[in-house]
Structure 1
């Protein structure tokens, strides 16, 4: 089961890396960032194929998208100087709390 969650973490990392390259690719006009973006997205989906065989797809997608959103928001602040209002920050922490609860209680299925 640990291996499954490591694949999920890897998929989240790849999805986040690909998403962070979207603005850098400048509408897919920059070949190097676009190539890495495609590689990261394909890798994310490849890793997810192993995860959905072991966990319910609803749990996988909730974890993947929720933690991806949270991580992208933090990295957007760090690298692109994007800001969020306090209400959005609270919402992001609620997403993480929701992902934690979903994973805790899905283990009892």
Structure 2
């Protein structure tokens, strides 16, 4: 269940961050409300995850997956350009999350 909470936290954070761009400096009400609600849900679910999974592992997965998803959304929605070094770096982030989850004894399942 804790990994589900972490997944919800990541999705809510990605939605909130995407809405942050759309809020135009909090000058648009709809996206601004989505930012506040999304981050509220994200941090609540993150706090539930931290009850059983070590904080370093949670934060590594949270930030790694979040970075990859936000970058993909920025590419799809906002036309952000991704060059070879950017793609390589994203690949390293994905590899790091996989290594943590598959090989590390620090992760509690």
**TM beyond 0.5:** yes
* Partner of residue 58, structure 1: 56
| Number of matched pairs | 107
- Report the TM-score when normalising by structure 1: 0.93
Structure 2, unaligned runs of 5 or more:
none
Question: Over the residues paired in the alignment, what is the CA RMSD in angstroms?
Answer: 1.4
Distance 1:49 1:62 in 2: 15
> TM-score scaled by structure 2?
0.93
Q: Is 2:42 the partner of 1:44?
A: yes
User: What is the alpha-carbon distance in structure 2 between the residues aligned to residue 102 and residue 8 of structure 1?
Assistant: 15
**Structure 1: runs of 5 or more not aligned:** none
Moved over 3 A (4+): none
Alignment of 1:2-21 (within 5 A): 3-21=1-19
